[in-house]
């Protein structure tokens, strides 16, 4: 997974998160709110992807065993999709947090904290996905550094 594609996904998420928050606030009169459920769900997703990365790493890198072809392809596709999605969602929650900076409302700090927690959990999903992608490489891969 290239860093450029992750950066593009993050920037698109940032812009979309900022724009959607502004548009929804103008149309409905209230901005969409972030509860603690979103960061917790993203953290659970990061834990699942991280566990799968650890399990794959142990299987392929430490034991030298081969994964079945369909399992390897599924894990690689999952890793790449979650990496892009994690970057995009992290950007979206960051854009949401930016809209609350400088706001005088009493709840703005709570919404910023929740959206920052969600962005960090999304980055953890992305990081776990990149580790999973790396764990799918076999010892003889030419792309190996």
Round to whole Å and give the CA distance between 115 and 50. Answer: 22
Per DSSP, 61 falls in state I
Which tokens go with 20? 């959607």
CA distances from 55 to 46, 75, 128, 143 (A): 14, 11, 12, 21
Answer whether residue 41 is part of any domain.
yes
Answer whether residue 50 is part of any domain.
yes
Answer whether residue 145 is part of any domain.
no
Answer whether residue 74 is part of any domain.
yes
Question: Are 56 and 136 contacting, i.e. CB atoms less than 8 angstroms apart?
Answer: yes
Answer whether residue 82 is part of any domain.
yes
Round to whole Å and give the CA distance between 37 and 60. Answer: 34
Up-side HSE of residue 49: CA atoms within 13 Å toward CB? 31
Closest CA to 133 of 62, 31, 19, 56: 56
Answer whether residue 25 is part of any domain.
yes
- How many domains does the structure of the chain reveal? 1
Give the SS3 label for residue 131. helix
Answer whether residue 144 is part of any domain.
no
Answer whether residue 143 is part of any domain.
no
- List per-residue pLDDT tens for the chain, 145 residues long: 789 999 999 999 999 999 998 898 889 888 888 899 999 999 999 999 999 999 999 988 777 777 888 888 999 999 999 999 999 999 999 999 999 888 878 788 888 999 999 999 999 999 999 999 998 877 665 554 4
What pTM does this model have?
Answer: 0.87
- Structural domain boundaries enclosing 28: 3-135
């Amino acid at each position: 997974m290239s860093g450029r594609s992750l950066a593009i996904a993050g920037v698109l998420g940032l812009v979309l998160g900022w724009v959607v928050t502004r548009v929804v606030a103008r149309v409905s009169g209230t901005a969409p709110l972030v509860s603690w459920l979103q960061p917790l769900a993203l953290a659970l997703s990061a834990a699942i992807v991280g566990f799968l990365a650890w399990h794959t790493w142990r299987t392929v890198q430490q034991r030298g065993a081969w994964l079945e072809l369909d399992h390897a392809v599924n894990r690689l596709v999952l890793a790449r999709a979650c990496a892009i999605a994690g970057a995009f969602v992290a950007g979206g929650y960051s854009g949401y947090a930016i809209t609350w900076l400088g706001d005088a409302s009493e709840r703005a700090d709570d919404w910023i904290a929740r959206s920052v927690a969600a962005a960090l959990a999304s980055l953890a999903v992305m990081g776990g996905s990149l580790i999973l992608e790396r764990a799918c490489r076999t010892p003889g891969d030419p792309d190996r550094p």
